[in-house]
C-alpha cells in the first residue's frame, strides 16, 4: 500500500507537465514555478498524511484558486494562447476532498457554490445526486437543490422531484414542507407573470369598453410591460408559452398545489397551529397573486375549524382582516378598527403572549403606516398612535428597546428595508439610550 509520500509524489507528477508549459510560455517565471511546486508539495503531503482535516483541503483549494486567477490575468495581459488544466485541478481537489470526507457538508456546499459560479451545470447535477445520496436526511440539501433548479434553470420538474424525494426522507421537517409550498407558489407566480406579459389575463370586453369611454382629448400613453423594464424576461424561463393559453382555469393557477401541500403537512403534523400560522405568513408574502386571498382563507378556515381558540388562529384572523387593504380605501378604517379590537382583546385574553402579539401588530401596522401617505390625516394619526402603543407593548412596558432593535434587524434581513427604517425612526425617540438602535439610526443618516 502506497504511503503518504508516494501518493503526494504521484499527484505532483501529474502537474509537472503543466508547470513546464507555463514556464516555457513565460506566463510564470522559474522562481514562481518553483514556489508553486513547493506549495503544492507541502499541501499534498499534508492532505495525504494521517490526521488530515477538511480545512487542509480548503486551504489547498484556496491556493489553487488564487494561482488560477493569477494565471488567467497573465494570459490576458500577455496575449498568450494557452489552454491548461485551468479549473479542472480545482474540481479534482474538491472531488478528492468529498470522497475522503463525505460527511462534511461544508465541503459539499463550497463545492456546489464553486460549480454554480462556474456555471458547470452538468457537473452540478452529478454533485447534487451524490450529496443527496450521502445525506438524505438533511432537509437543507433537498431545498438547496430544488431552489437551484428552479432559480437557475427554471426546471420545475426537477425542482419538484427533489422536494418530493426530500419529503420521503425528511417527512418530519416543517421547514422542508414550508419551502416546498413556497416553491410551488413561486411557480404559480411565474406562470401568472408570463400570462400578464402576454396579455392573457386581460378582460377583452372590459378593455374595449374602457377604450370606448376614454376622453379623445386625453393623451394615450403606451402600456409598459415587465419585458420593457427587464428585457431578460423575454428569455425562456421554463414556462411553456403555448400551454399558457389553457391555464386560465387550471388548478395550478388557483393554487391547488400549494393548498395540497398545506393539507398534507397538517395531516403529517396533526394540525399544528404554529405550523399553519407559518404557512399563512409565507403565503401572505405573495400578495400580488390573484389566488392568494383564497389560499389564506383556506388556511384560516382550517385553523378556525380545528384550533378555534389557539392564539395562532387569532393572529391569522388579525392579518386576514388587513391583508391587501389600502389605507386610502374607504373600507379600510372599519377593517382597521376590527383588526385592532381583535388584537387588543387577544392580548387581554393571553397576557403571557403579549410580546408575540405586539410584534405581529407592529409588523402589520408599520407596513400600513408606510402606505398611508395619501390617506386621511385622522387615519394616519390612528395608525401612528397604534404603532407606538404596540411598540411599547413589545418592550413589555419597561423594556430597554432591545426587542424593538431586534425586530428592526429582522426586518432588514427579510428585505423589508423601508419597514425597518420606519421602526427605527419611530422608536429612537423612546429608547434613545439603546446602543443597537443608535447604530441602526446612524446607519440611516449616512
The pLDDT of residue 25 is 83
- In this prediction, residues 214-232 reach a mean pLDDT of 38
Which percentage of the chain shows pLDDT scores above 70? 86
- For 409-429, write each residue's pLDDT tens digit: 999 999 899 999 989 988 888
Confidence of residue 224 (pLDDT cuts 50, 70, 90): very low
Report the mean per-residue pLDDT for the chain: 85
Measure the CA angle with vertex 282, ends 281 and 287; round to 5°. Answer: 85
pTM of the model: 0.81
The pLDDT of residue 218 is 34
Reply yes or no on whether the pLDDT at 312 is more than 80. Answer: yes
The pLDDT of residue 56 is 94
Confidence of residue 443 (pLDDT cuts 50, 70, 90): confident
The pLDDT of residue 8 is 83
Confidence of residue 243 (pLDDT cuts 50, 70, 90): low
Reply yes or no on whether the pLDDT at 219 is more than 70. Answer: no
Which percentage of the chain shows pLDDT scores above 90? 56
Amino acid at each position: 500500500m502506497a504511503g503518504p509520500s508516494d501518493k503526494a509524489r504521484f499527484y505532483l507528477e501529474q502537474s509537472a507537465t503543466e508547470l513546464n508549459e507555463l514556464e516555457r510560455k513565460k506566463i510564470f517565471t522559474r522562481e514562481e514555478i518553483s514556489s508553486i511546486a513547493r506549495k503544492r508539495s507541502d499541501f499534498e503531503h499534508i492532505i495525504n498524511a494521517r490526521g488530515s482535516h477538511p480545512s487542509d483541503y480548503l486551504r489547498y483549494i484556496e491556493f489553487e484558486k488564487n494561482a488560477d486567477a493569477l494565471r488567467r490575468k497573465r494570459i490576458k495581459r500577455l496575449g498568450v494562447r494557452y489552454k491548461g488544466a485551468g479549473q479542472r485541478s480545482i474540481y479534482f481537489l474538491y472531488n478528492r476532498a468529498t470522497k475522503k470526507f463525505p460527511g462534511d457538508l461544508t465541503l459539499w456546499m463550497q463545492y456546489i457554490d464553486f460549480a454554480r459560479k462556474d456555471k458547470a451545470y452538468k457537473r452540478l447535477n452529478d454533485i447534487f445526486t451524490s450529496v443527496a445520496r450521502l445525506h438524505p436526511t438533511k432537509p437543507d440539501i433537498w431545498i438547496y437543490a430544488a431552489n437551484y433548479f428552479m432559480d437557475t434553470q427554471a426546471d420545475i420538474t426537477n425542482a419538484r422531484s427533489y422536494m418530493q424525494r426530500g419529503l420521503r426522507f425528511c417527512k418530519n421537517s416543517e421547514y422542508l414542507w414550508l419551502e416546498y409550498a413556497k416553491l410551488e407558489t413561486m411557480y404559480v407566480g411565474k406562470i401568472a407573470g408570463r400570462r400578464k406579459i402576454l396579455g392573457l389575463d386581460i378582460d377583452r370586453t372590459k378593455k374595449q369598453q374602457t377604450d370606448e369611454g376614454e376622453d379623445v382629448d386625453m393623451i394615450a400613453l403606451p402600456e409598459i410591460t415587465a419585458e420593457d423594464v427587464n428585457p431578460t424576461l423575454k428569455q425562456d424561463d421554463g414556462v411553456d408559452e403555448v400551454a399558457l393559453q389553457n391555464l386560465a382555469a387550471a388548478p395550478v393557477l388557483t393554487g391547488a398545489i400549494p393548498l395540497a401541500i398545506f393539507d398534507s403537512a397538517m395531516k403529517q403534523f396533526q394540525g399544528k397551529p404554529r405550523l399553519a400560522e407559518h404557512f399563512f405568513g409565507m403565503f401572505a408574502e405573495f400578495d400580488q397573486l390573484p389566488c392568494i386571498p383564497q389560499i389564506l382563507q383556506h388556511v384560516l378556515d382550517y385553523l378556525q375549524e380545528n384550533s378555534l381558540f389557539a392564539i395562532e388562529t387569532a393572529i391569522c384572523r388579525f392579518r386576514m382582516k388587513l391583508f391587501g387593504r389600502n389605507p386610502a380605501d374607504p373600507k379600510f378604517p372599519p377593517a382597521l378598527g376590527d383588526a385592532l379590537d381583535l388584537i387588543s382583546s387577544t392580548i387581554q385574553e393571553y397576557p403571557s403572549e403579549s410580546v408575540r402579539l405586539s410584534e405581529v401588530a407592529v409588523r402589520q401596522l408599520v407596513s400600513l403606516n408606510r402606505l398611508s401617505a395619501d390617506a386621511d390625516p385622522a387615519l394616519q394619526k390612528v395608525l401612528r398612535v397604534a404603532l407606538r402603543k404596540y411598540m411599547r407593548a413589545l418592550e413589555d412596558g419597561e423594556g430597554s428597546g432591545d426587542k424593538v432593535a431586534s425586530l428592526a434587524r429582522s426586518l432588514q434581513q427579510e428585505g423589508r428595508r423601508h419597514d425597518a427604517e420606519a421602526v427605527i425612526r419611530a422608536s429612537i425617540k423612546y429608547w434613545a439610550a439603546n446602543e443597537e438602535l443608535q447604530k441602526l439610526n446612524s446607519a440611516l443618516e449616512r
